[in-house]
Amino acid sequence: MLRTHTCGELNMSHLGQTVTLCGWVQKSRDLGGTTFIDVRDRYGLTQLVLNTDTDATLRETARSLGREFVVKVTGKVLERTSKNSKIPTGDIEIAVEALDVLNEAKIPPFLIEDETDGGEELRAKYRYLDLRRNPLRQNLMLRHKIAQEIRKYLDGLNFIEVETPVLIKSTPEGARDFVVPSRMNQGEFYALPQSPQTFKQLLMVSGFDRYFQIVKCFRDEDLRADRQPEFTQIDCEMSFIEQEDILNIFEGMARHLFNTVKGIDLGTFPRMQYADAMRLYGSDKPDIRFGMQFVELNDIVKGKNFGVFDNAELVVGINAKGAASYTRKQLDELTEWLKRPQIGATGLIYMRHNDDGSLKSSVDKFYNEEELQKWSAAFNTKPGDLVLVLAGQTDKVRKQLNELRLEMGSRLGLRSKDVFAPLWVLDFPLLEFDEESGRWHAMHHPFTSPKPEDIAMLDTNPGAVRANAYDMVINGIEVGGGSIRIYDRALQSLMFKHLGFSPEEAQKQFGFLMDAFEYGAPPHGGIALGFDRLCSIFAGLDSIRDVIAFPKNNSGRDVMIDAPSTIADAQLQELSIKTTV
Ligand code: ASP
């Protein structure tokens, strides 16, 4: 070893010892005769003191040092005269006897400090330097700790970690596949897994019983703050279980992680039906850190000659408690915000419950005080409250009101990053209709089992069939989802039929799984949790990017290594591929 200690561990108990440290120069201050240097490694920062008056070699070397030079120092641990209580090594300093430059460094393109001056693009290009900064290092250390705790918890419950292949064929999970051309099989392509779904099910057929894998998944979809083209799942599957078992074991895992990593007791997770989540929050991943539940108003507002409400399928609102002080200007601005194409509302109607007890709405022409009293009762308003109402087609208006609810929650300070509100959302629909393709799609994936009592409706009312599917949601973020699977050929074929596959297509794409079901497939089910998302929640971040060592940007590019990039003609030829761009 080049060093005896790290830059984060020396304290008063080491006084008088001669030690050797290695690290990067954080900064250097020449006070004429004495030079102070802060040297940093992943464990911390230690102050070096150099008597440059008496030692000429030391003086030369000290003068040559720049930020981020890599150095090795040997010296004695001394008590500091002016201590720094903010860092663990703040009581001591090293009186340097020997200083070696192990490597020089160019001036870094941005400050390697907690608060940096580097823009996002620049830091992405020099990600390896950005990763030297404390906040990012801490995120990755947190990620490591969570991963270890996951392994400990699952290993303790007899789960075994099995790796599944990365070059596979398409597993439909609702996104586009990334594909890889095969040189040895000209004209043919592998797909990268959107998840190891079919493989983990096959492992159940093989009798492995309890499987997990912390695994990369690949989905070619439009990127957002919480999406990356490659991301990591905690993928799990179990045999001989019921939905209740999965919920208990993985609720237990989330509790274990919050407990061990954050010292927080999450308690028992509430459970909500999908239909209730949509009705009360307009979202299948409700943020229940705050109430502000939807109140439907059709019964009390229709038939009063107000066309907007009379013609709407659903009139629904929220009570933004304490927001009655919103001015006309703020309400106009909120209306404009709702009308942006991203949200698409046609307008916003409001009612103020004034401090003097009077009720004042933007539709006073149609609703007198007596009518507004009914609104007030429905929303249980108190003086100071502001009721916000939207009207329109049910699905659309719920989505819009969900956005408004989250926005008001944020504005009213109800969404603290230090509060954690988990829940299970249960009984998702099996199918959803896709307007674009005019077909039914599996809401979760095609291997999810329908509730047995709903199977008969597959022909008559497919949209009403419920699945044995569940999502884990924390603070409005879907952290995981899974289902109890189909495990017999007949039902799996029926499912493919309803998804618009011909028997031949189903056999070609998923014959391997259906064949396996004929060789003694156990009842099974599972779940996958988004590891990056979980880490970002723990770290209090909005984006998953900073819990990933080398993430892609919004256009799916890694600007550090410059990928994706074109490849040599010879490579294309070898693959018999011609590009047209
Ligand atoms: N494979 C699913 C997904 O990636 C999870 C599961 O059903 O276990 O969402």
448-504 tens-digit pLDDT: 999 999 999 999 999 999 999 999 999 999 999 999 999 999 999 999 999 999 999
pLDDT of residue 339: 97
Asked whether 110 and 97 are in contact (CB, 8 A), the reply is no
Measured in Å, residue 250 CA sits from the centre of ligand 1 at: 14
pLDDT of residue 438: 87
Measured in Å, residue 529 CA sits from the centre of ligand 1 at: 8
Nearest-CA residue for atom 8 of ligand 1: 527
Neighbours of 261 (CB within 10 A): 16
Measured in Å, residue 197 CA sits from the centre of ligand 1 at: 6
H/E run at residue 215: strand 210-218
Tally of CA atoms within 13 A in the half-sphere of 400 that contains its CB = 29
Tell me the CA end-to-end span of the chain in Å, nearest whole number.
Answer: 53
516, two tokens: 């396996």
Nearest Cα to 228, choosing from 562, 533, 534, 538?
A: 533
The owner of tokens 């954690």 is 420
Report the distance separating Cα 303 and Cα 287, nearest Å. Answer: 34
Report the distance separating Cα 371 and Cα 364, nearest Å. Answer: 10
Nearest Cα to 358, choosing from 368, 349, 348?
A: 368
3-class secondary structure, 375: helix
pTM (predicted TM-score): 0.94
Which amino acid is residue 17, in one-letter code?
A: Q
- Those residues whose C-beta lies under 8 Å from the C-beta of residue 478, and which sit 6 or more positions away, are 284, 285, 471, 472, 530, 533
Measured in Å, residue 195 CA sits from the centre of ligand 1 at: 7
233, 234, 250: which to mutate for ligand 1, most atoms within 8 A of CB?
233
Cis peptide before 181 (omega within 30 of 0): no
Report the distance separating Cα 217 and Cα 47, nearest Å. Answer: 44
pLDDT of residue 486: 97
Measured in Å, residue 235 CA sits from the centre of ligand 1 at: 7
Strand partners, 351: 361, 387
Q: Which residues line ligand 1 (CB under 6 A)?
A: 173, 195, 197, 445, 481-483, 526-528
Report the distance separating Cα 514 and Cα 486, nearest Å. Answer: 10
528, two tokens: 């996958």
Angle between the N-to-C axes of helices 197-205 and 503-516, in degrees from 0 to 180, rounded to the nearest 10: 50
Nearest-CA residue for atom 7 of ligand 1: 482
Report the distance separating Cα 132 and Cα 134, nearest Å. Answer: 6
pLDDT lower than 50: segments of the chain: none
> For residue 448, which atom of ligand 1 is closest to its CA?
7
> For residue 233, which atom of ligand 1 is closest to its CA?
4
> For residue 447, which atom of ligand 1 is closest to its CA?
7
Nearest-CA residue for atom 3 of ligand 1: 528
Q: Is 523 exposed, middle or buried (0-12, 13-18, 19+ CB in 10 A)?
A: middle
Report the distance separating Cα 98 and Cα 19, nearest Å. Answer: 11
> For residue 217, which atom of ligand 1 is closest to its CA?
4
Report the distance separating Cα 88 and Cα 153, nearest Å. Answer: 31
Report the distance separating Cα 429 and Cα 436, nearest Å. Answer: 19
> For residue 236, which atom of ligand 1 is closest to its CA?
8
pLDDT of residue 513: 95
What percent of the chain is modeled with pLDDT above 70? 100
3-class secondary structure, 187: coil
Report the distance separating Cα 151 and Cα 142, nearest Å. Answer: 14
Nearest Cα to 471, choosing from 452, 444, 431, 442?
A: 444
pLDDT of residue 265: 97
Buried b (16+ CB within 10 A) or exposed e, 12-46: eebeeeebbbbbbbbebeeeeeebebbbbbeebbb
Measured in Å, residue 278 CA sits from the centre of ligand 1 at: 21
> For residue 526, which atom of ligand 1 is closest to its CA?
8
